[in-house]
């Protein structure tokens, strides 16, 4: 069999009854609660922008439930958009060698571009689409959250497609599956365990940048959307530690709720897609998933969608990006590859020329060299922090991932820590640095990896959780233990997942530098010399040539770093460490 039976991990069989059951009360509350949330969010997004000025952000804790609902609605909208983007972008990049030459470097750049960099150019655009309405600002906020979620999920899906076991590819060919059927019946199910964990990480990553997304300041444009992020920004601006504490409590409650209602059922459901040839350990359980199977209302609402999706997945459509199964076989002539490479190089040179012409209107050559130096300083911080985070979290992630009960218990805690915004740590960091007379260039650096180190942990947990049981049994049969077990068994098994996590953590650290290299608490502001601080200052001033220069230099460093380190490691994992 290709995957574990669908019944594994889904809890007890549903109770068959013709009568209304208590489980339907839960289903009724969830379904209509979601409808109410959608209706309220839609109505509030259609009001004029002037209404935001008449109802400023209040630090009264009683307002936090409403703020939490609005922030959660934005994040759910962003995660849905991220999933659609992941399936489209990741599939094209993995299946088309020529598209991969363009799309993966672009993805490297996109994951490193700071959220404020996106906001600088998109706020005016979205406001122009819906002039005078809050809806345009809401779209800008959702898009900003999307940019903190989509890249990690896309890399995870791309990694799964590139490391798909060859025997599964051969089976799909034997059954004569079309590109469409292969995608939905093999590739998406195979990627599901890792994708679910990365979706959790992306949801938490959205929290990390929710302050920048809801308290938008670009030049003379300042807009604050009601939400937990705006609440945190207001509390920090007013030096209200009590309000900061209330925001932390609200975040914890929201994370626990959607962990129980959304992600824990998804983890239990995704367990049936694990690639196994032998019986594994006890699967994760979810009381919500059990209730869903027992509630008639859920069955009534979900069943038609399930039948429609299954029918759509079986349609014999031929995807144009469905490529041949053998690895390394040329997809086109060398001449066409060279022409394609020349076109890419020409487009890149033209883009560089446009950037240089725009930046040169205000920036001299000496400042360009200074910005390159600032980028090198930030690069050193990123490299050192990712190395330290890897030493800490890889062993811990392996230990957690191999123990399903521990993974289930740690899941909400890890989500909360990953979601914890660095902005809340800033007051304590600023006070400690000033009090002890510490160097901001050193002691502000850990804030860069505070929210991104969890990419490594989540991906390693996903890799260890998906590690085949028969491989573990084989290692035990040959008495492979200690250091040899780490180097010959488990580290090669989780290596593709680690590379995905480290790559996205690296890009996220570059992204986080824009908020971590400038820390403020009231009137006290500390700056670490680096590219993130340069972009933050240019964004605050609305200086678009310098914003463009900072983002261009950051993209240059990210591409060079990825091509030198992460991309060779990823290719090695896809070529040598596939589970065949």
Return the C-alpha torsion angle 314, 193, 278, 480, nearest 10.
150
Interval 235-241 mean pLDDT: 79
pLDDT score of 138: 85
Residue 382 lies in a domain: yes
The CATH number that applies at residue 187 is: 1.10.3720.10
Q: Which two tokens stand for residue 209?
A: 């940048």
Within a domain: 492: yes
Task: Provide the strand spans (E) within 277-345.
Answer: none
> Is residue 13 situated within a structural domain?
no
What is the residue whose two structure tokens read 């299946």?
Answer: 95
Residue 16 clears pLDDT 50, i.e. is over it: no
87 in a structural domain: yes
Each residue's pLDDT tens digit, 350-369:
888 888 888 888 888 889 99
Checking if the pLDDT of 256 tops 60, the result is yes
Is residue 333 over pLDDT 70?
no
SS3 content of the chain, % helix, strand, coil (to 5): 75, 5, 20
pLDDT above 70 covers a percentage of the chain that reads: 77
Asked whether residue 337 is assigned to any structural domain, the reply reads no
From residue 198, give the alpha-carbon distance in Å to each of 104, 150, 354, 466.
18, 10, 36, 13
Residue at 565 is within a domain: yes
HSE at residue 32, side-chain half, CA atoms within 13 A, is 7
Above pLDDT 90, what percent of the chain?
Answer: 7
* Among 348, 340, 351, 318, residue whose Cα is nearest residue 97: 340
Q: Do residues 215 and 229 lie in contact, with contact meaning Cβ atoms separated by under 8 Å?
A: yes
DSSP 8-state assignment for residue 273: G
Give the burial class of 114: count Cβ atoms within 10 A of its Cβ; 0-12 exposed, 13-18 middle, 19 or more buried. buried
- Give the number of domains in the chain: 1
Question: Is the residue at 509 inside a domain?
Answer: yes
499 pLDDT tier (thresholds 50, 70, 90): confident
Query: How many beta carbons lie within 10 A of that of residue 56, not counting itself?
Result: 10
Indicate if the pLDDT at residue 218 is higher than 80. no
Domain that holds residue 141: 23-275+284-317+363-576
Name which of 211-225, 397-411, 543-557, 558-572 the model is least confident about.
211-225
Question: Does residue 345 belong to any structural domain of this protein?
Answer: no
Residues 6+ away with beta carbon under 8 Å from 397: 456, 457, 458, 459, 460, 461, 463, 464, 494
pLDDT, greater one: 125 or 17: 125
Cα 425 to Cα 71, 313, 530: the distances in Å are: 20, 46, 20
Q: Which residues contact 471 (CB under 8 A, 6 or more apart)?
A: 489, 493, 579
Give the contacts of 157 (CB within 8 A, at least 6 positions apart): 86, 87, 90, 91, 94, 191, 195
Least confident span in 411-425, 450-464, 504-518: 411-425
């Amino acid at each position: 069999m290709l995957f574990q039976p669908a019944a594994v991990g889904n809890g007890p069989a549903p109770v068959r009854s013709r009568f209304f059951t208590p489980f339907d009360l839960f289903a009724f509350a969830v379904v209509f609660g979601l409808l109410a949330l959608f209706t309220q969010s839609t109505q509030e997004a259609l009001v004029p922008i002037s209404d935001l000025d008449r109802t400023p952000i209040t630090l009264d804790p009683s307002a936090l439930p409403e703020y939490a609902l609005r922030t959660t609605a934005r994040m759910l909208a962003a995660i849905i958009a991220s999933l659609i983007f992941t399936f489209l972008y990741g599939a094209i990049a993995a299946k088309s060698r020529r598209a991969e030459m363009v799309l993966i470097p672009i993805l490297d750049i996109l994951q490193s571009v700071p959220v404020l960099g996106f906001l600088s150019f998109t706020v005016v655009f979205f406001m122009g689409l819906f002039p005078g309405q809050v809806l345009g600002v809401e779209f800008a906020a959702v898009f900003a959250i999307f940019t903190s979620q989509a890249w990690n999920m896309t890399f995870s899906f791309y990694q799964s497609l590139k490391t798909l076991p060859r025997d599964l590819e051969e089976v799909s060919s034997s059954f004569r599956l079309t590109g469409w059927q292969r995608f939905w019946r093999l590739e998406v199910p195979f990627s599901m365990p890792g994708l679910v964990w990365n979706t959790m990480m992306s949801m938490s990553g959205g929290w990390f940048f929710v302050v920048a997304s809801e308290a938008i300041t670009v030049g003379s444009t300042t807009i604050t959307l009601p939400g937990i992020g705006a609440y945190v920004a207001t509390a920090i601006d007013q030096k209200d530690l009590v309000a900061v504490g209330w925001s932390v409590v609200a975040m914890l409650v929201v994370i626990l709720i959607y962990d129980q209602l959304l992600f824990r059922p998804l983890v239990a459901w995704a367990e049936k897609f694990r690639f196994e040839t032998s019986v594994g350990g006890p699967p994760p359980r979810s009381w919500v998933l059990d209730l869903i199977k027992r509630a008639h209302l859920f069955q009534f609402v979900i069943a038609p969608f399930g039948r429609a999706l299954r029918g759509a997945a079986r349609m014999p459509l031929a995807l144009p990006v469905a490529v041949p199964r053998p690895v390394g076989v040329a997809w086109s002539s060398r001449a066409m590859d060279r022409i394609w490479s020349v076109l890419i190089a020409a487009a890149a040179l033209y883009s560089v020329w446009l950037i240089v012409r725009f930046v040169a209107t205000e920036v001299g050559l000496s400042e360009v060299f200074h910005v390159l130096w600032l980028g090198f300083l930030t690069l050193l911080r990123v490299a050192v922090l990712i190395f330290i985070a890897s030493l800490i979290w890889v062993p811990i992630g392996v230990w957690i991932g191999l123990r399903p009960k521990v993974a289930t218990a740690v899941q909400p805690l890890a989500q909360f820590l990953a979601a914890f915004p660095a902005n809340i740590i800033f007051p304590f960091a600023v006070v400690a640095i000033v009090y002890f007379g510490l160097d901001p260039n050193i002691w502000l650096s850990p804030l860069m990896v505070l929210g991104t180190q969890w990419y490594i942990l989540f991906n390693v947990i996903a890799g260890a959780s998906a590690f085949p049981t028969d491989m573990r049994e084989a290692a035990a049969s040959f008495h492979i233990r200690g250091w040899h077990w780490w180097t010959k068994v488990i580290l090669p098994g989780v290596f593709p997942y680690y590379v995905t996590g480290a790559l996205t953590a690296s890009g996220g650290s570059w992204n986080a530098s824009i908020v971590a290299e400038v820390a403020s608490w009231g009137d006290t502001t500390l700056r670490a010399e680096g590219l993130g601080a340069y972009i933050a200052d240019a964004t605050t001033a609305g200086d678009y040539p310098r914003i463009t220069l900072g983002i261009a230099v950051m993209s240059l460093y990210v591409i060079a770093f990825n091509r030198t380190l992460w991309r060779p490691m990823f290719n090695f994992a896809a070529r040598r460490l596939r589970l065949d």
